[in-house]
Amino acid sequence: MSCAISVRNVVKRFRIPVDRSSTLKYRVTHPVSTARYRELLAVDDVSFEVPEGQFLGIIGANGSGKSTLLKILAGIYRPTSGTVVLNGAVSPFLELGVGFNPELTARENVFVNGAILGLSRPELQRRMEGILHFAELADFADQKLKNFSSGMQVRLAFTVAIQADAAILLMDEVLAVGDVRFQAKCFETFARYKREGRTVVLVTHDLAGVDMHCDHALLFDHGRIVASGGANDVTSTYRRRSGEDSAESMAADETGFSTQEDSNRWGTGAVRFHEVVLEGSAVDQGRHFETGSPLRLHLELEARESVEDLVVGLAVRRSDGMLLSGTNTLVERLRIPAMRAGDRLSLSYRVDRLVLLDGQYRLDVAATSATTSTNFDWTSSAVPARSSSPAPGSSGPRIPSRRAAGRAAPATEAARRTVRARGGQGASAGCVQSSWLVA
């Protein structure tokens, strides 16, 4: 497979002025002063290659150099040193809507921005109806852009941008475009790009989107690549590093826990999973379950600090990390009361009929804060499992599978208080008649 993008030892430095010497008054009143600068190393010796047809995700904290790298790839910035080679026409999606004229109508802006993308007026005329329909602006085609809401403008900008017939697409935070329905159309556009074999570089903070669409991912930190590999592996590394940063202040506190003990587990430790048990019609004593059989996940949590806004969630993933289904107590309206240090919470998630195809799967569980999204305990691959079609006439017993590592130290019942939750039931995506229950 040929290489679409090659980046070799790229470095980008910016000079940030320390003195306010940009005005004429300052120059007159300080005739002998010398302008002083400090150096900002935005991209530090970065090298990677992107094969043709690959969907690459670039993630990292704010200020880590992601967008700077994308602008270097787009030719907006020149690297201080190093080389960048792109084999094919490039279309950047960096600042959607830049160049739009608020005094022109939506239709006129399509012609102007389409011309910038290299599309002829007859070609834009031919595509106009489809563009306005995709952007959901057919009824406002001849209205001035200044009367549009911000959402309408972004939808139009995205729709015009995807008209570019380029082999390489550079996207910066385009997954946050529009409402849920419009985002679904955007995701279908990304799927079409993959089918067409286009090369896509996506910079985003949406880790679920990276897991869903990207073949490969890079994690940036302070201008350097600190992780490279499969999308799910890299996003898991990012989540773990974020959890370690959140828990750093608790490193010497016995209520915290070290993520070095288990690379698949991270969080502050304010609430921890004491037990994760998967029960169902197992074929053997391992983690092998039959398609179509009922399934029950039992969760036991223990609070090590007072927590008032606990949310418990789970995700089912394929062995390659692709997210298949997920739910949590917040979206299913199961109210969890406030917990004090030492309290325990017992929850069960029931699926009346397992609807997974034959294959290997894994279950992730998480305990987070509803208000701050702080990860208390995130356990990736808490329960790996296998699903297969049942043998004719077979009927297996309900037996438990592996329990999650990291069992809490035993304590007397007198020192504990069991928390009972109240809530409703619901059907989560990918499951049939599923619900959260109080264990």
Q: What is the mean pLDDT of residues 88-95?
A: 82
- What is the number of helices (H) and of strands (E) in the chain? 8, 23
Q: Which of 352, 363, 359, 374 is nearest to 431 (CA)?
A: 352
CB 315 within 8 A of CB 232: no
Tell me: pLDDT of 35 over 90.
no
Phi then psi dihedrals of residue 291, to 5 deg = -60, 135
Q: Provide the pLDDT for residue 226.
A: 93
For the whole model, what pTM was predicted?
0.64
Q: What is the mean pLDDT of residues 379-400?
A: 57
Q: What is the mean pLDDT of residues 134-144?
A: 90
Domains and CATH numbers, the chain: 3-233 (3.40.50.300), 267-438 (2.70.50.60)
Q: Provide the pLDDT for residue 324.
A: 81
∠ Cα 68 74 75 (to 5°): 90
- Where is pLDDT greater, at 163 or 251? 163
Q: What is the mean pLDDT of residues 212-230?
A: 90
Tell me: pLDDT of 121 over 60.
yes
pLDDT digits (tens, 9 = 90+) for 140-184: 989 999 999 888 888 888 888 888 888 898 888 776 666 777 877
Q: Provide the pLDDT for residue 400.
A: 37
Q: Provide the pLDDT for residue 414.
A: 31
Token output for 224: 């350097």
Q: What is the mean pLDDT of residues 84-106?
A: 84
Q: How much of the chain exceeds pLDDT 70, in percent?
A: 76
Q: What is the mean pLDDT of residues 32-56?
A: 86
Tell me: pLDDT of 220 over 80.
yes
pLDDT digits (tens, 9 = 90+) for 293-308: 787 888 899 999 999 9
Helix ranges (H only) for 30-179 are 66-74, 106-116, 121-134, 150-161
The overall average pLDDT reported for the chain is 77
Tell me: pLDDT of 83 over 90.
yes
- Where is pLDDT greater, at 35 or 290? 290
- Non-local (6+) Cβ contacts of 85 within 8 A are 3, 5, 6
Tell me: pLDDT of 283 over 70.
no
- Where is pLDDT greater, at 405 or 47? 47
- Non-local (6+) Cβ contacts of 245 within 8 A are none
CB 190 within 8 A of CB 200: yes
Q: Any idea which of 114-123, 180-189, 358-367, 392-401 has the lowest mean pLDDT?
A: 392-401
Q: Provide the pLDDT for residue 245.
A: 55
Q: Provide the pLDDT for residue 318.
A: 79
Tell me: pLDDT of 327 over 90.
no
CB 219 within 8 A of CB 225: yes
∠ Cα 242 258 236 (to 5°): 35
Tell me: pLDDT of 353 over 70.
yes
Which of helix, strand or coil describes residue 107? helix
Q: Provide the pLDDT for residue 176.
A: 61
∠ Cα 389 394 399 (to 5°): 85
Tell me: pLDDT of 411 over 50.
no
- Non-local (6+) Cβ contacts of 296 within 8 A are 278, 279, 280, 348, 349, 350, 351, 398
> What is the C-alpha to C-alpha distance for residues 53 and 69, in angstroms, rounded to an integer?
20
Q: Provide the pLDDT for residue 435.
A: 60
